[in-house]
Every structure is written in C-alpha cells, then in structure tokens.
Amino acid sequence: MNKWLIVSALKDEISALLGIMRVERTYRQDRAHFYDGTLAEVPVIIGYTGIGTELTLAGLRHLAPWTECDAVIGTGYAGALDPHLATGHIVLTTEVRQSGVNGSAWASDPALVRMCRQFLAEDPNTMEGRLLTSEKALTTPALKQAAAQQYQAIAVDMESASLAAYCQEKQLPFVVLRVILDSAHERVPDPSEFLDRQKRISKRRVLSYMARNPSAMVELPKLGSQAKQAQQRIAALLPKLLPKLNG
C-alpha cells in the first residue's frame, strides 16, 4: 500500500483533515509540522510548511531524512483567476507554472490526474487546468486578470512550484488539488500584512491592519467564512479520494 504525503501552507487549511486523521507520530522543524499516521485507513503524512516557496521547500527538505513516501498531494487554498470559479470549487492541476519571464513549469503525474478526473467527474464545482505559483499575493481583480491572461492559468497559489520542484528532484509522482478561497473579482488582503518575522500569523498585526483599514471589519470575517468553507471542502474530498488513488 502506498504512503502519501499531503502538504499545505497553513495549518488552517488542513485542520479539519487532521481532526479525522489517526496520528501516530509528529515531526517538527522550524515552521514545518508533519503528522504521520493514517487517513481513511491509508498511510499518510499530512503537514504544513508556511506561506511561500522558500518555506515550502525548506519544510519538505527537513522532512526527507525522517520518512519516505510514494506519492504527493499538494492542497490548500487558491485564488481564482478564471471568473467561473467560486469559493469551495476544486482545482485539479494539470500543470504548475512558476511566475516570471523564465518561470519553470511542472506537469502533474498523468495517472494521478486521470484518477482524480474520474473521481471528480460528477462534481460540477471542479475545474481542471494550469495553476500559477506567484511570489507575491494577487490582491486585486486587475492583478488576477493580468495573471490569467499572461500565464493562461485558472488559479493561483504561493507554494506549489516548490512542491513540484521537490517532487521532480525526488522522482515522486504528484498532483495538486487546491480549493478556491477568493474569486477572480474579489479584492483580498496581502497575507504578508498578518505575518511576523517568523512568517507566523500575528494577532497584533491583524489588529493593526484592521485599525489602518476600517473596511477590514467586514472583509476579514467574510474571508474567514470563505476559509472555513474551503477547509471543509478539503476535509470532505481527500478521505474519499485517497482509497481510490491507492487502488
């Protein structure tokens, strides 16, 4: 039976998933946390690394000496670039593209994409396509529209390029299944506004942002509600999908 590595940026993205996982061991290195055990009776390691490509790659490399896995699933939230995507919709990634003029691209494992496609075939709230990894948050509709046109991507995150590069380096098959947090027409805050020097969410910085941006009193609770919806979608999807992928 294959052992799966499931990786997100933030604990919030996978907290509901961890709540239904049977944890046997934990690994911690700096900001990366990984939980070793089973999910739906399938051997898994589920973890989070922190926001951004640098922390993602560092977290995966810290984990490597401790355990081995056979395949990788990247998950978590994504911002929509395609206007047809809404909060809670699933993005099945066929290719991960790094932003920039000379940005690299990595294809998801074709067999994993095919099995995910079959599993999601009857779900109308799913879209398949290219995922953009951006070094900077795309916070406005104009930035999202420009990125969609430039990269022909349907959604954006800030980590999957590092995950894909790591999998290529280790010769591990991977697929990325992200859930939409914000739609293409929504304005969202830059997550760096809320992070301390250790790249952790800081309550002090959140309060400071709200004091400087009165509209945040409405925007942040709405975003929190959307995050809860996306989190629950991840927790509903993966326990059903994993046994299918595992054959």
Return the domain boundaries, the chain: 4-245
What is the pLDDT at residue 199? 60
What is the pLDDT at residue 243? 95
Residues 6+ apart with CB under 8 A from 217: 210
CATH architecture of the domain 4-245 equals 3-Layer(aba) Sandwich (3.40)
What is the pLDDT at residue 212? 76
Is 51 exposed, middle or buried (CB count within 10 Å of its CB: 0-12, 13-18, 19+)? buried
Residues 6+ apart with CB under 8 A from 17: 6, 39, 46, 234, 235, 238, 239
Structure tokens at 195: 């992070």
Whole-structure pTM over 0.85, yes or no? yes
The secondary structure of the chain in percent helix, strand, coil, rounded to multiples of 5, reads 40, 30, 30
What is the pLDDT at residue 146? 97
What is the pLDDT at residue 204? 79
What is the pLDDT at residue 143? 97
Residues of the chain with pLDDT under 50: none
What is the pLDDT at residue 73? 98
What is the pLDDT at residue 79? 97
Write the pLDDT tens digit of every residue in 91-148: 999 999 999 877 799 999 999 999 999 999 999 999 999 999 999 999 999 999 999 9
